[in-house]
Structure 1
Amino acid sequence: MNFDDYCQQKAAPPGSGTYYALRQANAARQPLLAALFALRRELEETAKETSDPTVGRTKLAWWQKELAGLAAAGNGAGSGADNTAQAHPVTQALAHHLDDVKATYPALQALLAGYAMDFDQARYLDFPNLRHYMDAVGGTFATLVARVSARDASAAAQWAAPLGNALMLAQFVPEIGNDARHGRVYIPIDELQRYNVTAADLINRRYSDEFTELMKFQTARAREAIAAALDGIPAAERRGQRTLRSLAALSLALLEEVERERFQVLHQQIVLTPIRKLWIAWRAARRA
Structure 2
Amino acid sequence: MNPDEYCQHKAAQSGSSFYYSFLFLPSERRRAITALYAFCREVDDIVDGVNEASVARMKLAWWRGQVEQMFNGSPDHPVAIALQPHLEPCRLRPDPFYAIIEGMEMDLDQFRYADWEALRQYCWRAAGVVGDLSASIFGYTDPRTLEYAETLGLAFQMTNIIRDVGDDARRGRIYLPADEMAQHGVTVDDILDGRYTDGFTALMRQQTLRARMLYRDAMRLLPAADRRAQRPGLMMAAIYHTLLDEIERDGWHVLNQRIALTPIRKFWLAWKVWVGGGQGLVRRLAA
Q: Letter of the aligned partner of 1:46 in structure 2?
A: I
TM-score (norm 2): 0.90
Are the aligned partners of 1:174 and 1:269 in contact in 2 as well (CA < 8 Å)?
A: yes
Is the counterpart of residue 246 in structure 1 residue 229 in structure 2?
no
- Aligned ranges for residues 206-285 of structure 1 at < 5 Å? 206-285=195-274
Corresponding residue number in structure 2 for 1:38: 38
Contact 1:205/1:267 (8 A) holds in 2: yes
Q: Which range is displaced more, 95-104 or 187-196?
A: 95-104
Question: 1:18 corresponds to which letter in structure 2?
Answer: F
The answer to whether the Cα contact below 8 Å between 1:49 and 1:182 also exists between their aligned partners in 2 is: no
Write the deviation string for residues 170-217 of structure 1: whole angstroms up to 9, x where unpaired. Answer: 111111111111111110100111111112222232222221221122
Amino acid at match of 2:218: A
Match for 1:249: what amino acid? A
* Contact 2:91-2:136 within 8 A present in 1 as well: no
* CA distances 1:211-242 after superposition (whole Å, capped 9, x unpaired): 12211221122122112212211001111111
Q: 1:174 aligns with which of 152, 160, 163?
A: 163
Which letter maps to 2:258? Q
CA distance in 1, matches of 2:232, 2:22: 6
* Runs of 5+ unmatched residues, structure 2: 280-287
Q: Separation in 2 of the partners of 1:239 and 1:102?
A: 19
User: 1:25-72: per-residue Cα shift (whole Å, max 9, x none)?
Assistant: 333300000011111111222223433221211110111111112222
Aligned pairs, how many?
A: 277
- Give 2:8's aligned residue: 8
Aligned mates of 2:90, 2:149 — CA distance in 1: 20
2: CA distance, partners of 1:262 / 1:188: 20
Identity of aligned residues (%): 38
Indicate yes or no: 2:110 matched with 1:121: yes
User: Counterpart of 2:18?
Assistant: 18
What amino acid maps onto 2:47 in structure 1? Answer: A
Q: 1:115 to 1:269 in 2, by over 3 A?
A: same
2:99, 2:217 → 1: CA distance? 24
Alignment partner of 1:187 is 2:171 = no
Q: Does 1:47 align with 2:44?
A: no
2:104 counterpart letter in structure 1: Y
Q: 1:161 aligned to 2:164?
A: no
Going from structure 1 to structure 2, the CA distance change for 1:143 and 1:101 (only over 3 Å counts) comes to closer
Q: Does structure 1 retain, via aligned residues, the 8 Å contact 2:67–2:80? A: yes
TM-score of the aligned structures, taking structure 1 as reference length: 0.89
Distance 1:101 1:216, change over 3 A: closer
2:127: which partner in 1? 138
CA distance in 2, matches of 1:243, 1:102: 18
- Note the C-alpha offset of 1:273: 0.6
Aligned residues: CA RMSD? 2.0
Aligned AA (1:134): C
Query: Which piece of structure 1 moves more, 203-212 or 140-149?
Result: 203-212
Other structure's SS at 1:250 match: helix
Distance 1:235 1:119 in 2: 40
Does the Cα contact within 8 Å between 1:170 and 1:223 map onto a contact in 2? no
SS in structure 1 of the partner of residue 227 of structure 2:
helix
Relative distance call for 1:224 and 1:269 in structure 2 (3 A) is same
Alignment pair present for 1:152 and 2:149: no
> What amino acid maps onto 2:102 in structure 1?
A
1:212 touches 1:263 (CA, 8 Å); kept in 2? yes
2:144–2:222 Cα contact (<8 Å) kept: no
* Residue of structure 2 equivalent to 1:107: 96
- Give the match's secondary structure for 1:95: helix
Tell me: CA distance 1:86–1:15, structure 2 relative to 1, closer, same or farther (3 Å). same
Give the whole-Å Cα distance in 1 for the aligned partners of 2:94 and 2:237. Answer: 26
| Amino acid of the structure 2 residue aligned with 1:35 | A
Counterpart CA distance in 2 for 1:242 and 1:12 is: 20
Does structure 1 conserve the Cα–Cα contact (< 8 Å) formed by 2:243 and 2:261?
yes
1:64 equivalent in structure 2: 64
Tell me, what secondary structure is at the counterpart of 2:229? Answer: helix
Secondary structure in structure 1 of the residue aligned to 2:222 = coil
